Amino acid sequence: MKKKTVLTALLALSLSAQSYSQTATLHTMSDKTASAHPLIPGYHPDPSVCRVGNEYYIVNSSFQYFPGVPIFKSNDMVHWEQIGNVLDRNSQLPLKGASSWLGIYAPTIRYNDGTFYMITTNVGNGGNFMVTATSPEGPWSEPMWLQQQGIDPSLYFEDGKCYMVSNPDNTITLCEIDPTTGKQLTESRGIWQGTGGRYPEGPHIYKKGQYYYLLISEGGTEIAHRLTMARSRNIYGPYESCPHNPIFTHCCLSAQDSQVQGTGHGDLVEDANGQWWMTFLAFRLYNGTYHHLGRETFLVPVEWDADGWPVVNHGKPLQPVNKDTDFASLPQAAIANTAAKGFKAMGHEWLYIQNPDSSKYERRGSTLRLHGSKSSLTENDRPTFVGRRQQHADMTVTVSLDATLLKPGDEAGLTAYQIHDGHSEVLVGRADDGKLYATVRYRMKNLEKTEERLWLDSAKQLLVLRATPDNYEFLCGKDEKSLKSLGTIAPQLMSTEVVGGFTGVILGIYATGNGSADFKSFDYQH
């Protein structure tokens, strides 16, 4: 990037941050076709957005991870900060047996008359429910379990009524509910089945002018993902399909060479100046047709044509990032790195697999002592594990481990974890004769490979993962200078296309067995 343009852009960013000059920032973005830079990088799928005055909130799905449903706040739609996780108590988030295919699916966030609502599906542990809060930072209420099933529930409020919409039997279905109890008040009625694409889902209803607009996704969340729309003067229909459906997709000729694919699952918001925007998910391909960072959150401007139909991103696909000129290509969501110097204060980015057994996690000053679980990562029964998202294809994570308390047969390490049967790790283990070794192990479905052991003369080791778009290199050593490469794997083998799941890579520390492992720091650099 040229120095002068960086400075100009940074100045513009800092000015907009200082003065909350929403108009300048947003209009700079909407004047040009938005860039292919994710608004919130790393696994942040199924975004839903709402505005309250000059504040904007985004929530994402979270699947098997605890706490669930990360919530972000922005005052200008450019700078986003995670302010918490909506579901942060076991009573709100039972995750027994959840994998990267199960747990919390697409959430919707809405605000009405002083109350925030988050409605979602816990697949495998109870189905549809909603929680409420007066402050988006929480606390959020206990779940109100809902009668109407189908995934991707959403809410629409009008004239004291609360409507719920979801997709049972591949039909977008509407009913009225009591927003204070969740009790269903009217029968469920099918209102639209989309344009014929598979998996009609992700419905949201908006009112603009005389019309109720119904935005949905079709095609499945993979490469054929698309957004379609219909409208009606009556909320129950009949709905007329937009003549230029799909209103947004990258499964088309003009976007076939884009790195960004799978665009879908959107939600609309009108900003304080009357400009409309759409958040949606998409993934960035690396090395062919693979993505390992998960489905990420993007943002594009929306205009309305003379016939009252939306035109998304000026009718164009996302453009490749032009770093020299594109304002919106600068980093937008701040990247948390709260354990870089120790685990004293762990921020909102930290995640456990399923409901953590709190007796396994012991904070001792700035050290995090992990007590080994019987369950391995692959066995997936509340393993002792805590991690955060990989948000950049190029990055390095360095973990400081003291393995003194491992017992024979135990291990502790640093893993790049996509799903219970798709992860790779650099680990320290204690052999039956009491000696410590380091190695790297790769797990891809039913294939497992372990590198040769490196015998260690010290229990204190740095474990490092150096990632590039096409390589994961795992290293171990007493200090930075003595790091040895113990193994490499293409991250494509940890991708959604190869090992599956609805998430993206999480970088985690873990311990299995009967002993313990002391982790001193976890530093994420990109």
Binding site for ligand 6LW (CB under 6 A): 45-46, 61, 105-106, 151-152, 201-202, 217, 221, 264-265, 281, 502
**CB-nearer residue toward ligand 6LW: 121 or 516:** 121
Who contacts 270 (Cβ-Cβ below 8 Å, separation ≥6)?
Answer: 51, 276, 277
Residue 46 designated active-site: yes
By Cβ distance, which residue is nearest to ligand 6LW?
221
**DSSP structural state of residue 39:** S
Residues 504 and 42 sit within 8 Å (Cβ to Cβ): yes
Identify the burial level of 209 via C-beta atoms within 10 angstroms of its C-beta, where 0-12 means exposed, 13-18 middle and 19 or more buried: exposed
**CB-nearer residue toward ligand 6LW: 106 or 119:** 106
**In the bound complex, what is the minimum distance in angstroms from residue 262's beta carbon to ligand 6LW?**
8
- Which one is catalytic: 76, 152, 201, 218? 201
The H or E element containing residue 202 is strand 201-208
**CB-nearer residue toward ligand 6LW: 290 or 502:** 502
Nearest to 198 by CA among 161, 170, 234, 240: 170
Rg of the chain (C-alpha set): 23
| Alpha-carbon span 86 to 138, nearest angstrom | 7
**In the bound complex, what is the minimum distance in angstroms from residue 281's beta carbon to ligand 6LW?**
6
| Alpha-carbon span 428 to 456, nearest angstrom | 9
| Alpha-carbon span 409 to 360, nearest angstrom | 18
**In the bound complex, what is the minimum distance in angstroms from residue 507's beta carbon to ligand 6LW?**
21
Cα dihedral 280, 284, 288, 294 sign: negative
Identify the burial level of 395 via C-beta atoms within 10 angstroms of its C-beta, where 0-12 means exposed, 13-18 middle and 19 or more buried: middle
CA atoms in the 13 A half-sphere facing the CB of 342:
6
**CB-nearer residue toward ligand 6LW: 80 or 502:** 502
β-pair partners for 133: 116
CA angle 469, 472, 473 (to 5 degrees): 135
**CB-nearer residue toward ligand 6LW: 204 or 231:** 204
**In the bound complex, what is the minimum distance in angstroms from residue 52's beta carbon to ligand 6LW?**
24
**CB-nearer residue toward ligand 6LW: 50 or 428:** 50
- Which one is catalytic: 46, 326, 349, 425? 46
**CB-nearer residue toward ligand 6LW: 217 or 495:** 217
Nearest to 260 by CA among 270, 252, 250: 250
**In the bound complex, what is the minimum distance in angstroms from residue 120's beta carbon to ligand 6LW?**
9
Neighbours of 410 (CB within 10 A): 20
**In the bound complex, what is the minimum distance in angstroms from residue 195's beta carbon to ligand 6LW?**
16
Identify the burial level of 462 via C-beta atoms within 10 angstroms of its C-beta, where 0-12 means exposed, 13-18 middle and 19 or more buried: buried
Residue 271 designated active-site: no
Q: Tokens 């594109």 sit at which residue? A: 326
**In the bound complex, what is the minimum distance in angstroms from residue 121's beta carbon to ligand 6LW?**
7
CA distances from 132 to 115, 141, 152, 182, 476 (A): 7, 5, 17, 11, 46
**CB-nearer residue toward ligand 6LW: 46 or 326:** 46
**In the bound complex, what is the minimum distance in angstroms from residue 502's beta carbon to ligand 6LW?**
5
| Alpha-carbon span 176 to 171, nearest angstrom | 16
Catalytic residues: 46, 201
